[in-house]
Each structure stands twice: as C-alpha cells, then as structure tokens.
A = this chain, B = another copy of it.
Amino acid sequence: MYPRSLEKLIESFRKLPGVGEKTAERYALLICDSDIEDVQEFAQALMDVKEKLTHCHVCGNLCEGDECDICRDRDRNHRQIFVVQSSKDIIAMERAGEYRGVYHVLNGLISSSKGILPEDLNIESLVERAKDAEEVILATSATLDGETTSLYLSRLLAQNYPELLITRIAHGIPSGGLLDYADEITLMHALTDRRKMGG
C-alpha cells in the first residue's frame, strides 16, 4: 500500500520488540517528517553500533575497543566480581552508585525452555577470572532461569575454588522481577543483604 521504501522501513521497525503494525507506521511516518540530518544520524548510529561495539574481553560488557571502562578502572576492586545476565544490568547498578567492584556479563541465562546451555554463556572466562577473586556476587534475575543459573554457577565456582566467597543478591528484588527494572533503593538493599551461597 505504501511506497516501497516506506514499506521497507515499516518492516524494519516491526522487528523491534513489542512493535506492531500501527506503531511501526507511526515511527516510519515520523521519519518521513524528520530533518534529513536527524535521519542520517539515526542511520549512522545504527551502523556504528554494529561496527564499533564489541564485548569487553575481560568481563563481556558492551564496549568500544578491547576493554570496557569499568575493567580499565584501577580504582575499582578487581577481586570482587558482580555477575549479571546483561549489560543493561550494569547500567542499573552503576546508577545506584554504591558498588565499587567489577562486573561479569553472562549474556543470557541457562534456560531449559529456551534450550540455552551453560556453554552458550560467558561462563568459562568467569571461572578463569574467579581464580584471583575474593568474592563473586551472583546477581541474575529472581526468575526461574536466573535462580537456576545462580545455583549452577555457585556449585561450579565452589568446586573449583573452595576458599572463594560466593554470594547471591537477595532481599529487595521482588520475586519474578527483572534486575534492570528495579529502583535504586531496591538494588541497594539487594547489594547490602546479599547472602553466602557456597556449593
């Protein structure tokens, strides 16, 4: 119905999460009315993200270059590792501003329903890093897959390093809730009230 180029743009918008036909149309028609500079910037931003963005080779966080800002920061405690499922959880924690250790991004959760196995996640390098760590804080979401993943990791780490302190953030995150949607107070509670978890 629409001209071909507009149809193609609507199709691209429809691939975004939670975007249906009407919303995609609204987005695409706004683009039609936008300044050419804004649209060029948008297109450039899309390409830049694919071209410049990689995963930090230490922690798996999204970054430009080889190592992320947090891993490069020598003022942080590199012997305390906060394990999350996605980069956006790091942003949420950093906004709370309480935590001074480093992170490790799994890039997913072990999930029997989605067929995601431990070897699909960024776990091997976590075991490697944990060798020099004092504490590993498991901060996957309070969902079934999140709990499963934490349990798996706590056992795996305890097997390898009996001396390592393994904790799990706990009190504060509501059951079934997603980490990156929690408010800052809740996150702070979750950090303060973490409990020992050893294998």
Contacts and interface: CB of A to CB of B under 8 A. Distances in A.
Interface of A: 1-6, 8-9, 11-12, 15-18, 22-23, 25-32, 34, 36, 38-50, 52-53, 62-64, 68, 86-88, 91, 94-95, 181
Contacts of A48: 5, 8-9
A18 to B, nearest CB: 8
A2 B62 contact: yes
Given A6-B49, A36-B50, A12 B95 contact: no
A5 B38 contact: no
Given A4-B64, A36-B50, A39-B46, 14 more contacts: A1-B94, A2-B62, A2-B87, A2-B91, A5-B53, A8-B41, A9-B49, A11-B45, A12-B46, A15-B30, A15-B42, A17-B26, A32-B62, A43-B47
B6 A62 contact: yes
Given A1-B95, A16-B30, A49 B45 contact: no
B32 A49 contact: yes
A181 B168 CA distance: 48
Contacts of A17: 26-27, 30
B87 A53 contact: no
Interface class of chain A by DSSP: helix
14 contacts: A2-B91, A5-B48, A5-B49, A5-B52, A8-B41, A9-B46, A9-B48, A11-B45, A12-B45, A15-B34, A16-B26, A16-B30, A18-B26, A43-B47
